Amino acid sequence: MKNPVYVREVTRSMRAPRMLLSIFLFNLLLAAVGVFLLNAAMEETGSGSRMDYSAVLRLYQLIACVEWGLMVVMMPVLTAGSISGERERGTLDILLTTGMPEISIIFGKLLAALSIIMTLLFSTLPVLSLVFIYGGIRFLGLIRLFLVLLVMAAYVGSVCLVFSAYAKTMTFSLICSYAVILCITFGTIFAAYLLFPVIGGGTGFMSHILLLNPTVTFLVFIYEQMGEFGIVAGLMGQIGMDQSGFLERHFLEFSLAAQLLVSALLIWAASLGLSPSGRIFGFRFHARR
């Protein structure tokens, strides 16, 4: 990767002692939980009884949910202050004088954050591999899990980068980022649940909104991966989504594609925050450097 911003951010983060400490503590916690649940499943089985494979799958499901939560919490921390922090320290002008395109700076910041997150997630492979002892999840399933988390991490990070590019302070950018991410991940579900009795589920209105909700995307993925399609249908029915529609039957694919598209648009919008004009659709949003 020849992007200087990416190289600088990754080198500085990976060499920090807190990165190694974070990996150690995170995996220590996951390993303790994994061994405890696996031991509980073995005790329930007893001698001469059949193994309850659902307990092993629940272990995988729990670890995957913890990784998703880590991604949602950590991405704003890594990206919301990436540009606004440079502005506060007075180093943004120096960065811009390097002649790098604004979009390369934004892209480098996002890639650095994704590298840190994926390093943390890949470090959990030994714990996730516990499910291979009794089967149920193949290695290809783990690769799919990491790819889905990568797409959603890029989506969450691009949202935060927009606020970072236009906010004057890192604190304001971080607060706005967490507020918007909270609305996207949980607010839209709550709104869909409340609006369903009013507008009904026949229009597909709920489905289109929830395409951009990483929580729904992850739940659909994890339950489909475990073969629990009935739970997926039940979740969709609760928020007014018509399970018989083409969009709902391919919700995961459409959702990931939509989030990738929005991520690209947000990266472009964030790059305009560093450009001299700082205009979006004719409106000036450029923050004072």
Kindly indicate the confidence band of residue 23, based on its pLDDT and cuts at 50, 70 and 90: confident
Which pLDDT score is estimated for 265? 95
Contact 34, 40 (CB under 8 A): no
User: In the predicted model, what is the mean pLDDT of residues 12-30?
Assistant: 83
* Residue 94 predicted with pLDDT over 70: yes
Token representation of residue 236: 């969709």
Alpha-carbon span 222 to 17, nearest angstrom: 33
What pLDDT shows up at residue 202? 44
Q: What is the pLDDT of residue 5?
A: 86
Least confident segment among 22-36, 75-89, 125-139 = 125-139
Q: What is the pTM of this model?
A: 0.84
Separation of alpha carbons 72 and 180, rounded Å: 12
Mean pLDDT rounded to a whole number for the chain: 80
User: Residue 154: what pLDDT?
Assistant: 95
pLDDT at residue 138, rounded to an integer: 76
Could you tell me which residue, 19 or 174, shows the higher pLDDT? 174
| 200 has pLDDT over 80 | no
Strand partners, 283: 280
193 contacts 206 by C-beta, under 8 angstroms: no
Q: Tell me the per-residue pLDDT of 113-123, one tens digit each, with 9 for 90 and over.
A: 999 999 888 88
Per-residue confidence band for 282, with pLDDT thresholds at 50, 70 and 90: very low
Q: Comparing C-alpha atoms, which of 170, 3, 7 is closest to residue 76?
A: 170
Q: Is 167 left (phi over 0), alpha (psi -120 to 50) or beta?
A: beta
| CA–CA distance, 144 with 184 (Å, rounded to integer) | 23
Average pLDDT over residues 249-267: 91
Question: Can you tell me the mean pLDDT for 247-263?
Answer: 87
CB 112 within 8 A of CB 5: yes
Find the angle CA(271)-CA(273)-CA(275) to the nearest 5 degrees: 75
Question: What residues pair up with 175 in beta bridges, in sequence order?
Answer: none
Q: What's the rounded mean pLDDT across residues 25-43? A: 77
pLDDT class for 134, splitting at 50, 70, 90? low
pLDDT of residue 203: 45
Q: What is the pLDDT, as a whole number, of residue 67?
A: 87
What's the confidence (pLDDT) of residue 214?
A: 92
Asked if the model's pLDDT at residue 45 lies above 80, the reply is: no
pLDDT, greater one: 202 or 49:
49
Instruction: Indicate if the pLDDT at residue 85 is higher than 80.
Output: yes
Q: What is the pLDDT of residue 149?
A: 93
Backbone angles phi, psi at 223, to 5 degrees: -75, -35
Q: 240 by DSSP, 3-state: which?
A: coil
Contacts of 260 (CB under 8 A, 6+ apart): 151, 154, 155
Residue type, 113: A
Residue 73 CB partners (closer than 8 Å, separation 6+):
none
pLDDT of 284 higher than 60: no
What tokens does 226 get? 């475990």
For residue 165, pLDDT over 70 is answered with yes
Query: What average pLDDT does this structure show over 264-279?
Result: 80
Q: Does the CA dihedral 33-36-42-46 come out positive or negative? A: negative
